[in-house]
Amino acid sequence: MKTAAIIVAAGSGTRAALNAGLPKQYARLGGCSVLAHSLRTFCDHPGVDLVLAVINLEHQAFFDLARQEAASGKLVAPVAGGASRQASVLAGLDALAGQNVDRVLVHDAARPLVSAATIDGVLAALETHPAALAAVPLADTLKRAGEGNLVAATIERAGLWRAQTPQGFRYPELLAAHRRAAMESAAEFTDDAAIAEWAGLVVALVPDSNANSKITTAEDLAMAQSAVAALEPRTGTGFDVHRFAEGDNVWLCGVKIPHSHRLDGHSDADVGLHALTDAILGALGDGDIGQHFPPTDEKWRGAASHLFLADARERVAARGARITNVDVTLLCEAPKVGPHRPEMQRAIAEILKIDVSRVGVKATTTEQLGFTGRREGIAAMASATLLVPA
């Protein structure tokens, strides 16, 4: 199942007070652009395989900066947008043709605070429906204005939702619907779910948060800036040691490696993942691995250590925090870590649901000094940097 995300960033909507004449997707928001936030969240999501931005080529330089800020190998070369949002999305869909994409998510760049949980929700809905969109049930009473801003009517609110993005679709069906709409419909569609509806597809609503609102005014931008500014960087460290015992393989950083011994421990003794789990817990100030998974508890005997790391990831999410990067150093004479490094980085990125470029794995011998040098065991140290709501 290959999933692409199209980030719609071609708009040239500028409000003088907002961004010195630049479109809002290039406004600065906590150290990077609004667009970079959107790109990064999709690039970091493990359910997304490639990310394509649709831009106005006049803003190529600003896009290039956002691309550096998002720093992900999933980001492909951008394509030029059209005269309308609808035309821009179609340009993105056309650019994906021939890439064997099964599902596509379409997202407005100007919704920089979209969460991984919202993307999860839309992807989950696509398992059972041909189309799905993030949306918020209306909380306010609606009035229709008549002449001179006098109320002409109160509109029944029950059953009304505000459409947000991402909106997800089976790629071939959305491409066909868009191409047909471009040929046959005189109406201008303001979102892709409306095109799916027009084409007769069933569209599911996925409850979303107000935090994923679109930045349109200077006030919206100021609110997003204060939400982002309230995040403070925090770093934690972890250290762990396991001794060798009789066996023929070791688990290191989520990867099983043939070896002359195994590592001894209550769980699978993955010393790298244990140090990393403690680093994340340390950054949160939330105890340590031994407190959450006591070795006295039979439940964790032989447990796969990715469970511990996934638990730490859930604790990060529950705090509204985000992992910026993690780094693990293994200390051992053998086995050789280098050949397994890419697989270890991938394993950790997958468990933490972050891009592989945010994961460091390194190894060193200790020059045959100490217990690691005598090949009695393996030690690991790790650090994790998080953005945590203050």
If one counts every other C-beta atom within 10 angstroms of the C-beta of residue 86, the result is 21
The least CB distance from residue 244 to Mg ion, in Å, is 14
Burial class of residue 265 in the structure, from the number of CB atoms within 10 Å of its CB (0-12 exposed, 13-18 middle, 19+ buried)? buried
The least CB distance from residue 291 to Mg ion, in Å, is 13
Interface stretch with Mg ion, choices 21-29, 148-156, 274-282, 311-319 (CB under 5 A): 274-282
The least CB distance from residue 364 to Mg ion, in Å, is 19
Non-local (6+) Cβ contacts of 251 within 8 A are 257, 263, 268, 269, 270, 273, 304, 305
The least CB distance from residue 312 to Mg ion, in Å, is 13
Here the tokens at position 158 are 């029950």
The least CB distance from residue 340 to Mg ion, in Å, is 19
Closer Cβ to Mg ion, 171 or 300, answer by number: 300
Interface stretch with Mg ion, choices 109-117, 176-184, 233-241, 362-370 (CB under 5 A): 233-241
Q: DSSP letter at 23?
A: -
Report yes or no: 53 and 7 within 8 Å, Cβ to Cβ. yes
Interface stretch with Mg ion, choices 47-55, 211-219, 266-274, 296-304 (CB under 5 A): 266-274
Non-local (6+) Cβ contacts of 271 within 8 A are 240, 241, 242, 252, 263, 330, 378, 379, 380
The least CB distance from residue 386 to Mg ion, in Å, is 21
Interface stretch with Mg ion, choices 54-62, 111-119, 207-215, 237-245 (CB under 5 A): 237-245
Task: Calculate the CA 29 to chain-centre distance.
Answer: 17
Closer Cβ to Mg ion, 108 or 240, answer by number: 240
Closer Cβ to Mg ion, 51 or 309, answer by number: 309
Q: Determine which residue in the list 274, 306, 313, 358 makes contact with Mg ion, applying CB under 5 A.
A: 274
Burial class of residue 151 in the structure, from the number of CB atoms within 10 Å of its CB (0-12 exposed, 13-18 middle, 19+ buried)? exposed
Half-sphere exposure of 297 (CA within 13 A, CB side): 9
Closer Cβ to Mg ion, 78 or 238, answer by number: 238
The least CB distance from residue 60 to Mg ion, in Å, is 49
Burial class of residue 132 in the structure, from the number of CB atoms within 10 Å of its CB (0-12 exposed, 13-18 middle, 19+ buried)? buried
C-alpha distances (whole Å) from 195 to each of 9, 83, 327, 345 are 19, 17, 45, 40
Interface stretch with Mg ion, choices 47-55, 57-65, 272-280, 313-321 (CB under 5 A): 272-280
Which residue minimizes CB distance to Mg ion? 274
Here the tokens at position 36 are 């970079």
Using CB under 5 A, count the residues that bind Mg ion.
2
Q: Which residues pair with 136 in a beta bridge?
A: 162
Rule CB under 5 A: is residue 278 a binding residue for Mg ion?
A: no
Interface stretch with Mg ion, choices 144-152, 162-170, 239-247, 309-317 (CB under 5 A): 239-247
Q: Which of 178, 180, 196, 194 is nearest to 89 (CA)?
A: 178
Q: Determine which residue in the list 108, 191, 208, 240 makes contact with Mg ion, applying CB under 5 A.
A: 240
Q: Between 58 and 87, how does the x/- string for binding to Mg ion read (CB under 5 A)?
A: ------------------------------
The least CB distance from residue 171 to Mg ion, in Å, is 44
Please give the biggest Cα pair distance in the chain: 87
Q: What residue ranges bind Mg ion (CB under 5 A)? A: 240, 274
